[in-house]
Each structure stands twice: as structure tokens, then as C-alpha cells.
A and B are shown apart, each in its own frame.
Chain A
């Protein structure tokens, strides 16, 4: 009975947060992309950047709206379903979430209005400033949420009072907990990559449909440039973050790699069928020695196995193992897209290689899938704890019965399915229509006769 409520509450949280994370991941990247587009437009005066801005800002508005409404849900779910967690842990994470509201949400919300509707009212410079502020707000939001989550994954700088509450003794240390900086970079890069893949996919699709479409050619090149640089970088950052996991959450690392025995010279399980029932892998395709080397940089490094943490403290191994592999696999495909795209670009074949354009189109949702897989690794991997090592998930749940949680879960399932799927369809339709060149080009801002006046406006790199 009690377990049912815990499981249902976990399902509800997983469902609502997995939907939610898609929107911030997209809008963090898209806000920065819009700032770059508007900056380029102001700097070069090329109408193509303005066309792209006007196209993507509509998609941004839609995504942002869905992010807001699904985010409001999160801020109340802590109380409705996880009230014991809220009572005990919010003296520590409450201020971090509070600062997220104060330094990010208000900033984004207020300047979003100016960004979407104020172009005629505030002038170009202020409008650009509003775009930059919104982008800054999205980054600030990521900072605080990663800060709170990193503290929950690896709580530091606190003591526990007689009511079981976490009292922070050093805020700087709690906010910048040891794993926080790398995880923040990892998340921001993930958001940038996800956005680049969406922009790349929409542009590639447009080029398949209307070969040579000018704005889509520019946007595809920007996306490829981003993927080329950021995807390999993300691999390095992710690897470094993984080494931190090995240090602070050995059970999670053991689950990621399906290590059961503590030993040196661990083999690397490329694929496996880990089974908690038998406390072993029923099947594994393994490379000898590589496991220790990947996780600790040395083949003779002793790596903790799951048997050593005790069955009671083991996360669901198979979920973590496979979620991690999905994330990494998608990451490799992203690197491939960046490299292949760059090679085609350099050899002048980018716009006519249909196979690549189709591949880039299919990769559109890959970033979001990787983000969800990555968060699944992080969040399922720290089970059975919600505050790692200190508060078990089963002890954190609100005193609500399974019936209430089931009904609300069902309501969320139905509403999210309708609202966000329709929203996604609207976005896909806008992408299928593509950027619309301005009906009549706006009067050039450059003085006639100035050097810039002779520069072509619709030319391409």
C-alpha cells in the first residue's frame, strides 16, 4: 500500500519532469541562438538573420509557454507528493530554488514580453538587450537548478538538526558543491547541442523540400558548426563528470557500467543484461581491462561493484545501464553529424547530399532523447536516495494515498499528452513551412553611398 504510493509519486514526478526538461533544454539553447542571430543582424544588416530571428522567435514563444506551465507544476509537486522531502530538505535546496525564481524566472518572463511584442515600441538596441537578458535568464535558471540537484546528489556543507532537517553551514560550498560546475557545463552544452540539432533538422528538411532555400542554408551551417565544436567537447565534459560520479556515487557508477564485483582490471561491458535478482549480468559483451581504464584512467584501478553496496542500496541497474548507453550512443551520432557536415561543407557538397540532409533531419529529436536519457541515468542512478546517503526516496513521500496520486497521475498523462503533443505538432508545422522571407524588405539602415550599402544582403557564406 505504502510502496504503491511511493511508486506512483515517482512515476508522476518522472513523467512531469521528463516532459518539462525538453522545453528548458530547447529554450536555453534557442535563447542564446536568437541573441546571436539578432546580434549578427544588427552587426551586418543582412536581412537573412532577421528572417531567421523572426522564424525561430515564434517557435521559442511556443516552447517557452509550454516550459512555463509545465514548470509551475514542478514547483508545487514537491509539496503535494513529496512533502516530507520538502519539510526536511528545503532549508537547503529551498533557497537555491528561490534564487532561481528571483534571478531567472522573473527576468525571463518580463523581458520575454518585450522580446515578443515590443519590437516596434523599444527600438532595436533595447530589443536586442531584451533578447540577451532572456538568454541570460535561461542560463541562470540552469545554474540554480543544477546547483540544487548537485547538492541532492552529493550533499555537503550541512548538519542535521533534531527534526531531521538539513541545515546548511556554508552556502558558497553548498551552492558550488564539488560536482556542480561540471554538471552545469554538461547541461548547458546539452541544451546548446539539442537546439543545434533541432535547427539543423528544420533547415535540412527545408533544403530537401526547397533546395537552395537561402536562410535554411545559413542556419544549417550554423548548426553544423555548433555540433562540430560542442559534440566532441560534450564527450570530454561528460567523461570528466563520470569520473566525479565514480568518486562520490560509486553505486551509480557501478550501475552505469554493470559492475557487480569490487575489483581491479574491470572489464568494460559494451552491452549487458544486468539482473538484480541474480546479482550478476545474465549476458555481457565485454572488453577486458577497459572498464577500470575508462572510469579511473588506469587498468589496475579497483572499482566498486554493486554487491558491495548491498541489495538494499542498489539502484535499478538495467535502467541506469541502458539509459547511459542511449545517451552516449546519441552523443556519438551527434559527433558524426558535426564531422560529416563539416566535411561536406568544406567540399562544397553540403546542400546536395540528400543522405546527409535526411540524416540531419532524423537527428532533430536526438538532443532531447539524450537529455532525458542522461537525466534518467543521474536520477535513477542515485536511487534509493533522494538526498544521497541521507534521505531515502521511500521516506520522502507525502502522506497521500495511492488513489489520489493515481487520479492526478492519470490527469497529468491525459493533459500533457493532449497539450504538449498538439504544441509539438504546431512547432513541427511551423518548421515544415520554413522561414518566410519578409514580404517587402525593410528599408536598409545603411546610408546610401556608405561602404556597407554596396554589400550584398542575401548572399551566403
Chain B
């Protein structure tokens, strides 16, 4: 049996992207929700609840980018020029919200500005990531081995829809994270927000799912043709089940389940994306196999990754465990 290195790397990369989406998702979500929190104590607590982990969360984005460059250089060299504007916007957004963690507590007179930067940066980054996803799904023009489209190709009603959807989805993750980490009035507020954002997220999932089959004939085939449909139909069914459980858990006053079920909804949406895109990496243009780096590179990296990624997961879990429980007063110096 031969080892399908490109397929393994596609799996690893998908894992890195998913890890990024859910982990940075909730801390970007907190940035998006920030203006709805009471200035002072509530905002401090929200910030402190993610301060020890946001940096590690964002590292998954570097792994996603670096991993794609290393394992699928062709895809990297097509996708990034194609999505030039949203990628640059995302990077700039991440700069503002990243420095805001430290800068916010440096000078009381500048606080309002850096809180605005925190929210604005988070919002722009989330929107740009969603647009990137939508633009990829609707397809990018490839000429030869390079991007061959125009500069506004990424912009469409569909990509804007996915952009807004991701903003709402991240805000959902952020609000359920706060339900888990906060108490009292702040928790009640987070719970109310989670209810609304949960409804918004489910609506977005429905809209994006309904629009996707119309983008490319191939997507419709993958979802609706027999016998695929027997498998693919499970995904919307599970989304419906997950949504019901989510609202129940919220109403019953559970603290952890809303977050976990929101993660579940993200997981199912991600699986749905996989169904649409696989076995391509640039949908409709370049397959995983075509884009892959030579075996010499993939096998060398895999040997390292197989050892290091479990270690990373172990100490990341440890870091989360150290800061488990409700967020307290300790935080920014």
C-alpha cells in the first residue's frame, strides 16, 4: 500500500484551518461583541478571558498559511494573489486587534481608541476571512499555473454573504465562550446574545447551503446525486439536531454545552465545505494532487509533524487547563 502523502497533508491542513476557525473564532468573536459589553469591568473580564490564549489561537493561522505554502505551493501561489484585497485587509485587521490587547491597558486616555481598534480589527478580519471562503467556493480564474482573474473577482453577493455569516458565527462562538467564562449579569447578557446569534448563525448556514449548489453544477451533483445523498443528507439533519440542542442548552442554563454545540455547528459546516470542495484545493481548478509539493518535501515535513503536532496539542490543552474556570480579576498589568 502506498501512502497518499498529498491526501494526508490535505487532512492536516484542514485540521489546522478548522482549529484556527474555532479557536481564533471565539476570540475574534469577543472583539466583535465588545461594544455590547459594559465599559470597565465587563470589558476587562472579556479581554482577560482570552488574553492568555489568543496568541496561540492565531498561530494556527500561521500554520494554515505556512502549511499551505509548504505542502501545496501551487494552491498558495494561486489563492493569495486571487484574494489579494481581502487577505491584506485581514492582516491589517489582525494587527489592530492583536496590539489592542496590550495597548488598551497602557494609557487610559487612549483606551477608547484601542477598544475601537479591537472591535474594528476583529470585524474586518472575520469579514475578510468569510469573503475569502466565499470567493474560493465560487471559484477563481486560473490561467496556466497562476491566477488569471481580475482584481475584484472575489467580490460578489455570495462572498459578502459568507463574510457576514462568518462574522455572526464568530460572534456566536464569542458569546458562548463568555457564557462559559463569566457570571452574573455579564453571563445573562452573553446568554441573550448567544440566543440571537445562534438564530442568525442557523439562518446563515441555511442561506449559504441553499446558495452553494447554484454556484457550480459539480457542487449540486456532489450533494444531491445518488448514492452520495444518503451520506450528505446526514449533514443538514445533524445541523438541525445541533441547533435544537443548542437552543435547549441555552434555555436550560447550561454553561459549557452552548459553546460545545456551537463548535459542533461549525464542525458540521466545515464538513459540508469538505463535501463541496474535495478532491480539489482550488475549487474547480486545481486538485489536491496537482497542487502538492514533491514527495521529498511532504514526507520530510510529515515525519516532523507527526511527532510535533501531538505535543503542540498537549501543551495547548495544558495552557487552556491552567486558565480554566471563570475569569477573575487577574490579567493586564
Contact = CB atoms under 8 A, between A and B. Distances in A.
A109 interface: yes
Interface string B86-129: 01100110111011011100110010000000000000000000
A99 B91 CA distance: 22
A86 B59 contact: no
A378 B309 CA distance: 33
B71 to A, nearest CB: 7
B308 A102 contact: yes
Contacts of A411: 88, 92
A140 to B, nearest CB: 11
Among B67, B95, B98, B312, the one with the most A-chain Cβ atoms within 10 Å of its Cβ is B95
Given A98-B70, A161-B294, A80 B333 contact: no
Nearest to B71: A94
Interface string B61-74: 11101110111011
Nearest to B70: A94
A408 B84 contact: yes
Contacts of B148: 399
B322 A114 contact: yes
Interface of B: 48, 51-53, 55-56, 58-59, 61-63, 65-67, 69-71, 73-74, 76-81, 84-85, 87-88, 91-92, 94-96, 98-99, 101-103, 106-107, 110, 145-148, 151, 293-294, 296-297, 300-301, 304-305, 308-309, 312, 315-316, 318-319, 322-323, 330-331, 333
Report the 10 A-B pairs with minimum CB-CB distance, sorted nearest first. Answer: A94-B70, A79-B80, A113-B52, A83-B77, A87-B77, A69-B98, A109-B56, A109-B55, A90-B73, A98-B70
Contact of B95 (A73, A78, A102, A120): A73
A97 B95 CA distance: 21
B169 to A, nearest CB: 21
A101 B99 CA distance: 20
Given A90-B69, A95-B304, A117-B52, 6 more contacts: A72-B62, A72-B91, A75-B69, A83-B78, A109-B59, A426-B106
Given A68-B55, A110-B315, A121-B322, A91 B81 contact: no
Contacts of B145: 87, 163
Contacts of A107: 315
A113 B58 CA distance: 13
Nearest to B333: A58
Contact of A79 (B71, B77, B294, B309): B77
Given A83-B146, A110-B56, A423 B76 contact: no
A95 B71 CA distance: 8
A332 interface: no
- Interface SS of B by simple majority: helix
A116 interface: yes
Contact of A121 (B78, B297, B309, B323): B323
Contacts of A400: 81, 84
Given A169-B296, A171-B300, A79 B94 contact: no
9 contacts: A65-B99, A80-B80, A87-B73, A92-B297, A95-B301, A97-B70, A105-B63, A106-B312, A167-B296
Contact of B293 (A72, A83, A94, A171): A94
A64 B297 CA distance: 31
Nearest to A401: B151
Contact of A80 (B87, B101, B151): B87
A106 B55 CA distance: 9
A98 B296 contact: no
Contacts of A75: 62, 65-66, 69
B16 to A, nearest CB: 9
B89 to A, nearest CB: 9
A211 B54 CA distance: 40
A446 to B, nearest CB: 26
A69 B66 contact: no
Given A65-B99, A97-B69, A118 B301 contact: no
A122 interface: yes
Given A73-B91, A86-B77, A121-B322, A98 B294 contact: no
